Amino acid sequence: MSQRALWLKNATLVTMNPERAVLEGGLLIEDGRITAVGSIDPEDADGAEVLHLDGHVIIPGFVQCHIHLCQTLMRNHADDMALIEWLRGRIWPYEAALTPEALAVSARVGLAELTLSGTTSLLDMGTVHHTDAIGEAVKESGLRAHIGKCMMDHGDQVPEPLHEATDDSMRESLRLHSTWDGAAGGRIQYAFAPRFAVSCTEELLRQVGEAAADLDCPIHTHSSETAFENEFTQQHYGVSNINFLQRVGITGAQSVFAHGVHVDDHDCQILADTSTTVCHCPSSNLKLASGIANIPRYDEFGVPLALGADGAPCNNNLDAFIEMRLAALLQKPFHGPESMPARRVLELATIDGARALGIDDEVGSLEVGKSADLVVMDLDSDPGCGPGGDVEARLVYTAQKHNVRHVFASGRQLVRDGRLCGVDTEALMARARDVQRDVAQRMQQFISG
């Protein structure tokens, strides 16, 4: 028995394994991995430290496939606007004003929030510059992330610091790939992140498609969030947004397209045929008035799906519980009460997200051999969560982040009794307020009109 063995004892386990089994029992962690699930032979756990869970619920850590860690400092500073106005008037000027230090603080705040609300893996969009600061913050956080530098070599009203030459954008992405892909013991991987068709030249997108294929590297972009993106590609390239992205070679089994609100059946067929994942971001789509993605239709076509909170200024939370509840409720008035059952939503937030990122052999379910990335929920002591009932429904419709008791990633405890381990959150937030004020001042020079 390893000295680092830990026995999580007396719990309900929502495993999300292939049978979607819900088990009573415990879970054994040794050297960062799950070595037993369900009924534990005390002999196997001999010498392990025991954590008594008194009937708490253990779930796999959430996997969020669309996050902007760089934007956390803009939370509640860019509200009640439509996407293009929001980008040009607030978000791009803000990103243009970010220093490496400000970006690091923004990422740390976002990672703290994600950890406290049970997300242990994420796909980040990054910003144009200083991406190393995001890598360092992820490394220190203990979470698992695909990071990528946001690529932008085209566009109107883009502040000068964000406008890059095609070659520079590729060169910096390749440098970051060689620095960060596989870093922190494999916890950090790289994903190319061209922002969206409106911000990228066709040439850049083609180069991204080729480089990603050569390097066996995921691609992360926004697609079909608004009708404007389709108008843009129709006008410039004569085809829909999804059709255009396929033509330039960035659809595929390692591609994650955030949003997918404005698509037709032909687009769905392309996504299904190429096994491109659509990352559903319900809060962001509502708040920016983009629309409601038709998730049951994607399921009918067999399009891979995932869930994401997007950025703090368009949500304004990075909380998987809020996204799950909305993802379930939003579909029901249109497609009936059975259209998005709790289990389907849990899949999007765990194992399907892991599959989208190609890390489903490591995370996304509670199974022997996988990394111990998991969340312990206290539902029973919360009057708002009980009494009892279907555990999947409790998690999707009722549970909130305050029910998160412990979080482990790679077997390391990141949250204990609802508090971050080793992070002074008061000091972090005091620093974030100072840095936010600086950035808010500096971004004024980049606001046009």
Binding site for Zn ion (CB under 5 A): 310
Taking the least distance from each CB to Zn ion, the nearer of 127 and 246 is 127
From the CB of 256, what's the least distance to Zn ion, in Å? 11
H/E stretch holding 36: strand 33-38
Kindly report the backbone phi and psi dihedral angles of residue 7, in degrees, each rounded to the nearest multiple of 5, phi listed first. Answer: -110, 110
Reported as type and span, the H/E element at residue 44 is none
Least Cβ distance, residue 409 to Zn ion (angstroms): 23
Shortest reach from residue 258's CB to Zn ion, in Å: 5
DSSP assignments along 367-432, one per residue = -TTSB--EEEE--TT-GGG-S---HHHIIIII--GGGEEEEEETTEEEEETTEETT--HHHHHHHH
Q: Phi then psi for 17, rounded to 5 degrees?
A: -75, 175
**Shorter beta-carbon distance to Zn ion: residue 113 or 310:** 310
**6 vs 314, beta carbon nearer Zn ion:** 314
Structure tokens at 208: 């991204």
Residue 103 has which token pair? 């970006």
- Nearer residue to Zn ion within complex by CB, 117 or 226: 226
Up-side HSE of residue 355: CA atoms within 13 Å toward CB?
19
CB-nearer residue toward Zn ion: 310 or 323: 310
The percent of the chain in helix, strand and coil, each rounded to the nearest 5, is 45, 20, 35
Widest CA span in the chain: 71
Q: Which is nearer to Zn ion, 220 or 405 (CB)?
A: 220
SS3 100: helix
Nearer to Zn ion, 310 or 319 (CB): 310
Closest distance to Zn ion from the beta carbon of 336 (Å): 29
CB contact at 8 A, 107 and 137: yes
Which residues, other chains included, contact 230 with Cβ-Cβ below 8 Å and sequence gap of 6+?
Answer: 224, 240, 241, 262
Judged by beta carbon, residue 277 or residue 410, the one nearer Zn ion is 277
Contact 178, 154 (CB under 8 A): no
CB of 312 to Zn ion, least distance (A): 11
Tokens 């440098």, residue located:
175
The sign one gets for the Cα dihedral 114, 112, 101, 72 is positive
- Residue 122 CB, nearest distance to Zn ion (Å)? 12
Residue 284 Cβ vs Zn ion, minimum distance, rounded to whole Å: 7
Instruction: Report, in Å, the least distance between residue 259 CB and Zn ion.
Output: 8
For the CB of residue 67, give the shortest distance to Zn ion in the complex, in Å.
8
Angle subtended by helix axes 320-335 and 342-349, to nearest 10 = 140
In the bound state with Zn ion, the residue whose beta carbon lies nearer, of 118 and 308, is: 308
Give residue number: closest CB to Zn ion: 310
**DSSP calls for 334-380:** HH-TTSS-HHHHHHHHTHHHHHHTT-TTTSSS--TTSB--EEEE--T
Q: Residue 327: what residue type?
A: A
Closer residue to Zn ion (CB): 303 or 309: 309
Burial class (CB in 10 A: 0-12, 13-18, 19+), 308: buried
Residues 6+ apart with CB under 8 A from 300: none
Minimum CB distance to Zn ion, residue 99 (Å):
22
Nearer Cβ to Zn ion (136/310)? 310
Smallest distance, Å, CB 417 to Zn ion? 33
* Least separation in angstroms between CB 199 and Zn ion: 12
CB closer to Zn ion, 57 vs 281? 281
